[in-house]
Chain A
């Protein structure tokens, strides 16, 4: 990945592409690269939909190799939703294809002068940028069918749906999966609106004629990959739980913990959870000819994704994930998996973040636009977003915007971004991460490896509440590093439990690049990324006032444990003291 593909959509005479050396960004990938570019090249006070914002699409450091699990793609920019720096990542095929084409990133810059819609085609021979207004307002599914008709089925696509074209702040960037369906999304933060502001509807990538990226030390790389895969397969989470049930295996457990936000974060338990659990979802899929064990990209050995069929056995959508089932399910009082699957399909087609939309519909229900539990009303509300009606334009701009429009107090957002599927009153540590993450409320920002594996900050007594600040800090550092590798974050449990599997990951990186990285180097990378992001946000006007949860989390008791968020502001302000 020796080059960057810069595409100036506002160039004199029309959009212009140039492949340039990576230069100062050499050695970076994924989130490290997107955040470095945004931090250096985007003025922090730029309008997110303006010509000075950039959209950076970057594979990870190991993408395009034969390393297992290396297919994640990072998308970065200034977020219209949070007003701060954003990295959102996705599975699907595009990361590997882009990396094999030799690009460390595609950077969309500038803004077209006219209102045309563009298709960008990239293969080994170069780049073609064409106006195609016939694509206007196509859902992602129809769009991809059209691209298959034009380019065959050996391609990968990155696209926006109508929501991105309408520059809605909940708009996602869609990535095609192995079956060439637009089911994987860089959902968080409204980066689909940024792509829409650049006038780009779809990027078609074709790596025909290209080979997998070659490591510096082939034998060591192969051995490390084998050890890595063996470690993932033998671990009960990555080798059994996730392939059997997908991420929605968490529903029953989080519900049992009283941390499953229900009816717009009113309660921590939902009576209908067993009807929408991962266990139930897997049974439906098996009975209807779907598939609960499926990888979202080639080389995935965990296979936590799945394929969901309707009652008649026809494809409906990809297996809705834990976050989606929660957002459109318990958060809205809906206990019908088939209706939730329809909502998931609509989100994918319109190009919307399922977490943001589920939270938004929950706020809309709180406002009285629909009753909690009314799945058909939820589907109608989402339909308004796809149509771009006045109501749809309110809802499509997310939970905070909707809450303001309808005078709702209980709006679960941090830095303007909706909270994911864990209530911070029950699990205080996730609340620390929600409040302080550079990304806004984000459950994946503090994922990954435990303190004791990375040996950062010393050993933390797991039973002492005081350890939560340090743990959140270290997890955010580790996650920032792992997001840079292009590895799927679900490797985290295996590498936390099995030091030899974590070592295998380091060995993969070292064998590929000819380095001698250690756990400390991984930590240093994570810290560097977080520091860049924090500095950007500060210059964009963020203060510690933005590192806070909404007030209701401190005031409203959450049943069944009847707890409130207890971590003090002073403690939250210590997270980034290192």
Chain B
């Protein structure tokens, strides 16, 4: 499903990014190179802004050695507040306090070829990475997408398929771009 919405309506799709969307990716890649080479996320952004990373629910300290495998869930967030935020932070001083669930690198189970992962975005990464990922195209649950479309005002649904078209489908590839302004409205 390809849709174009006003820039102010992009946030309507952010709940899908929070809940998790599917991406087809090459396996056995470290998180950093996956984000940079497959999704165009610059290194500088990763260093400065992606301070909390989970792989299959485990906090990651080193995004150069943590490898994604088929079916992985990768969650990205900025620095989080408080003691808990500090504990979960990538390579943080307080990492020992969550050592029981810290991600441990395991090259044996990475797999080869292409696979499918779930990606979640939290906090400011929604605004900062969400638009480019929506433009790239993401796999989402059809039921979740139907709920999101229902929440969008009627006058902003141009280009969206009827809700009926989603019935019976488990997954939809959604691509969302920013609508061009109508030429007539400038005169």
Q: Interface on A for B, CB 8 Å cutoff?
A: 235-238, 240-242, 244-245, 247, 249-250, 252-254, 256-259, 269, 274, 277-280, 283, 304, 422, 425-430, 432, 443-444, 446-448, 450-452, 460-468, 471-472, 475, 489-490, 492-493, 496-497, 560-561, 563, 566
Contact = CB atoms under 8 A, between A and B. Distances in A.
B57 A258 contact: yes
Given A253-B80, A277-B18, A465 B75 contact: no
Contacts of A249: 80-81, 122-123
Given A430-B84, A561-B101, 17 more contacts: A237-B79, A240-B124, A241-B124, A256-B57, A256-B120, A257-B57, A429-B96, A432-B97, A443-B83, A460-B96, A461-B96, A462-B94, A467-B97, A468-B99, A471-B96, A560-B57, A561-B100
A18 B123 CA distance: 50
Contacts of B91: 462
A467 B88 CA distance: 15
Contacts of A427: 84, 87, 97-98, 100-101
A183 to B, nearest CB: 19
B85 interface: yes
Given A237-B79, A241-B79, A283-B11, A250 B84 contact: yes
A472 B81 contact: no
Contact of A464 (B18, B83, B96, B126): B96
B80 to A, nearest CB: 5
B14 to A, nearest CB: 7
17 contacts: A237-B85, A247-B82, A252-B77, A254-B84, A257-B54, A258-B101, A278-B123, A279-B14, A279-B18, A279-B122, A430-B97, A432-B97, A450-B93, A466-B96, A468-B97, A489-B82, A493-B81
B49 interface: yes
Going nearest first, the 10 A-B pairs with the smallest beta carbon separation are: A429-B97, A467-B96, A450-B93, A462-B95, A252-B122, A465-B99, A274-B18, A274-B19, A256-B75, A427-B98
Contacts of B84: 250, 253-254, 259, 422, 427, 430, 443
A429 B98 contact: yes
Given A257-B98, A463-B61, A236 B93 contact: no
Contacts of A258: 57, 101
Contact of A280 (B15, B49, B51, B77): B15
B92 interface: yes
Nearest to B49: A236
Interface in B45-91: 49, 51-52, 54, 57-59, 61, 75, 77-88, 91
Interface size class of B (residues with CB under 8 A): 35 or more
A566 B100 contact: yes
Given A426-B100, A472-B97, A490 B54 contact: no
Contact of B95 (A463, A492, A493, A563): A463
Contacts of B49: 236
A426 B99 CA distance: 9
B70 to A, nearest CB: 18
Contacts of B92: 462
Contacts of B61: 463
**Residue among A244, A274, A489 facing the most chain B CB atoms (10 A cut-off):** A274
Given A253-B88, A279-B14, A462-B91, A493 B96 contact: no
Given A236-B79, A274-B15, A428 B97 contact: yes
Interface of A is mostly: helix
Contacts of A280: 15, 18
A256 B52 CA distance: 11
Contacts of A447: 82-83
B148 to A, nearest CB: 11
Given A253-B52, A279-B14, A244 B95 contact: no
Interface string B149-166: 000000000000000000
A450 B78 contact: no
Nearest to A450: B93
B127 to A, nearest CB: 9
B101 A257 contact: yes
A149 B129 CA distance: 50
Contacts of A247: 81-82
Contacts of A256: 54, 57, 75, 120, 122
Given A257-B59, A257-B88, A471-B94, A245 B82 contact: no
A462 to B, nearest CB: 4
Given A249-B123, A257-B101, A279-B123, A237 B80 contact: yes
Contact of A471 (B51, B52, B85, B97): B97
A473 B89 CA distance: 20
Contacts of A236: 49, 51, 78-79, 124
**Residue among B52, B61, B83, B99 facing the most chain A CB atoms (10 A cut-off):** B83
A563 B100 contact: yes
Given A274-B15, A280-B18, A446 B93 contact: no
B7 to A, nearest CB: 15
Contacts of A430: 83-84, 87, 97
A340 B119 CA distance: 28
A428 B124 contact: no
Nearest to A565: B100
A471 B14 CA distance: 37
Contacts of B83: 430, 443-444, 446-448, 475, 492
**Residue among A253, A274, A463, A566 facing the most chain B CB atoms (10 A cut-off):** A253
A426 B98 contact: yes
**Residue among B58, B75, B81, B100 facing the most chain A CB atoms (10 A cut-off):** B81
**Residue among A252, A461, A465, A471 facing the most chain B CB atoms (10 A cut-off):** A252
A422 B78 CA distance: 19
Nearest to A428: B100
B93 to A, nearest CB: 4
A540 B52 CA distance: 42
Contacts of B75: 252-253, 256
